[in-house]
Amino acid sequence: MAQILDGKALALSIQAELTTRIQAWQIEYGRPPGLAVLMVGDNPASAAYVRNKARACEQVGIAALGQIFPAETEPAQLAQTIADLNHDSRVDGILLQLPLPQHLDAIALLEQIAPDKDADGLHPVNLGRLLRDEPGLRSCTPAGVMQLLKANNIPLEGKTAAVLGRSVLVGKPMAMMLLNANATPIMVHSRSKNLSELTRSADILVVAVGIPELVKGDQVKPGAAVVDVGINRIADPVTGLERLVGDVDFESVSPVARWITPVPGGVGPMTVATLLHNTVLSYRKRFKID
């Protein structure tokens, strides 16, 4: 059976280290790092994510300065809020919780966040810095995956890495991070031909498509590292109760792979840990902390 890549344990370790540092910095610099999470509407999944982020901030000592807006909020009001936060000296990171209601242009609003406060790493400036392999804030989920691979000493240099999914949130930055680590990334998507052939060629397989248990054991190279970014709610056919599953069929893949992430407890906690890390990076840059 595959070794479990325990994102929850690694995230707790990262948070413990951040807690110690933040306590010292607060005494020296007069305030803790601050993260503003903006949520629009009452999407239950988004609300749960925002609560988790606020709880994680509280645990490490980051000031959570979030705001919740009604679903009918106008773009101008959100734009003004972002502008105010850009100039707020208490705020080091700004995150606009997605998805937004249909009348709001997420791309236009994300572009209004100051790049050095872009805690989600999605501003075009930060994506450009990733492309050029320059220092900058990184997209949280793929950066969390890279941390998880590194912490478990999974070799990347010279390895073939297949990324299923080409979203700007995960797939595209994930492929670029792997390339910057000297892996050879293959982008696999809905128009790709011979999908199973491509996935079976991969030493590292990252799946982020949002389709429950899409990848089966016969689509995985024996000994591969399999990273499941997906999180889907499905109903148990017998009990009717909902449960969480990933985009990878854990039962059939885990006997084939050498390493695998569980769902939940794999990539999800690392996404939140990276969000905290990004906020701290912005704080350190502001105060010129090495």
CB 228 within 8 A of CB 260: yes
Helix (H, G, I), strand (E, B) or coil at 215: strand
CATH number, domain 140-268, options 2.30.130.30, 3.40.50.1970, 3.40.50.720, 3.20.20.120: 3.40.50.720
**pLDDT score of 43:** 87
Angstrom distance (rounded) from CA 146 to CA 111: 25
Which value, in Å, is the radius of gyration of the alpha carbons in the chain? 19
Residues paired with 187 in a beta bridge: 163
**pLDDT score of 45:** 83
**pLDDT score of 135:** 95
- Write out the chain's pLDDT in tens, 290 residues: 899 999 999 999 999 999 999 999 999 999 999 999 999 999 888 888 899 999 999 999 999 998 999 999 999 999 999 999 999 999 999 999 999 999 999 999 999 999 999 999 999 999 999 999 999 999 999 999 999 999 999 999 999 999 999 999 999 999 999 999 999 999 999 999 999 999 999 999 999 999 999 999 999 999 999 999 999 999 888 888 889 999 999 999 999 999 999 999 999 999 999 999 999 999 999 999 98
**pLDDT score of 216:** 98
Contacts of 182 by beta carbon, 8 Å cutoff, 6+ apart:
156, 157, 158
77 carries an active-site annotation: no
84 carries an active-site annotation: no
Domain with CATH 3.40.50.10860 in the chain: 30-114
CATH architecture of 30-114: 3-Layer(aba) Sandwich (3.40)
CB 174 within 8 A of CB 127: no
Q: Tell me which residue has tokens 């793929």.
A: 142
| Size of the chain, expressed as the number of residues it contains | 290
**pLDDT score of 236:** 82
**pLDDT score of 239:** 85
User: Which residue ranges make up the annotated binding site for NADP(+)?
Assistant: 165-167, 231
Catalytic residue from among 92, 112, 118, 120: 120
Bridge-based pairing of strands 259-260 and 225-228 is: parallel
Domain with CATH 3.40.50.720 in the chain: 140-268
CA angle, 232 as apex, 243 and 113 as ends, to 5°?
A: 135
Q: Tell me which residue has tokens 């990324």.
A: 163
**pLDDT score of 100:** 95
**pLDDT score of 80:** 98
Contacts of 256 by beta carbon, 8 Å cutoff, 6+ apart:
2, 217, 220, 221, 222, 224
67 carries an active-site annotation: no
Catalytic residue from among 15, 97, 112, 219: 97
CA angle, 126 as apex, 102 and 144 as ends, to 5°?
A: 85
